[in-house]
Structure 1
């Protein structure tokens, strides 16, 4: 089974995941825009188990539908590397696609909060678009 490692900017925090992504998506919600400092978040979901190396700072955010998401950041460089949903930590993890530093990484299948997507952001043609959170 293929393993992939995502790393923060300074290398202090890493996460190793196994297999292919369960899904790759973009989120255009304002919380993700602020969290990433970009106009969207690009995330890949992976099934557990996964291994974390280094120390992380955590931030919990409540989503629009009440789910609690625990985001992990590097306390040295500030990179937002991965997150889990409370109560589902043992089943999956969401990892920032850019932290893999792999231009051949699979493209997104889904785009959520399209109602907040910047008009100049173009999506791959096969992307499924949701105006808000489909969950």
Structure 2
């Protein structure tokens, strides 16, 4: 059984922004939507979803950007103002959850994605052996 009191630290590339989260992620996922491709500058995003209350400490300043995610819905991207790393996201569609960029943990043993969202928009060579949506 996973240790619900264990903590993980996610940090930006320059180290100015750090968040400490308690517990295990609800799920890990990859997303190949066009927005995630643009935001990451890659073919997909790799993220871990946590309960919003999982953040037990935050050090450093942030820069937030809101974008529309469909009719009447928004998503907030929380970045480091110095290096620009997208550390986490929160939004209406996530409810009381937040989505943390897995690369910010620097943990090679982090759980693999269990789902690929917006598979219809993925690059032709991307082949993840996970269930797909959209």
Q: TM-score, normalised by structure 1?
A: 0.88
Q: How does 1:93-108 map to 2 (within 5 A)?
A: 93-108=98-113
Offset of residue 103 of structure 1: 0.7
1:78 corresponds to 2:122: no
Partners of 1:39 and 1:118 within 8 A in 2: yes
For 1:102 and 1:117, locate their aligned partners in 2 and report how far apart those are by CA, in whole Å: 25
SS of the residue corresponding to residue 35 of structure 1 reads helix
Partners of 2:73 and 2:93 within 8 A in 1: no
SS of the residue corresponding to residue 31 of structure 1 reads helix
Offset of residue 87 of structure 1: 8.7
CA RMSD of aligned residues (A): 1.6
Q: 1:24 is matched with which residue?
A: 28
Q: 1:41 is matched with which residue?
A: 45
1:121–1:88: structure 2 CA closer, same or farther, 3 Å change rule? closer
Offset of residue 2 of structure 1: 1.1
For 2:102 and 2:94, locate their aligned partners in 1 and report how far apart those are by CA, in whole Å: 20
Q: TM-score, normalised by structure 2?
A: 0.89
Q: 1:4 is matched with which residue?
A: 8
SS of the residue corresponding to residue 83 of structure 2 reads coil
Show structure 2 runs of 5+ residues with no match.
Answer: none
Structure 1 segments of 4+ aligned residues over 2 angstroms from their partners: 64-67, 86-89
Offset of residue 53 of structure 1: 1.3
For 1:129 and 1:64, locate their aligned partners in 2 and report how far apart those are by CA, in whole Å: 21
For 1:15 and 1:83, locate their aligned partners in 2 and report how far apart those are by CA, in whole Å: 12
For 1:39 and 1:22, locate their aligned partners in 2 and report how far apart those are by CA, in whole Å: 23
User: Which structure dedicates a bigger proportion of its chain to helix?
Assistant: 2
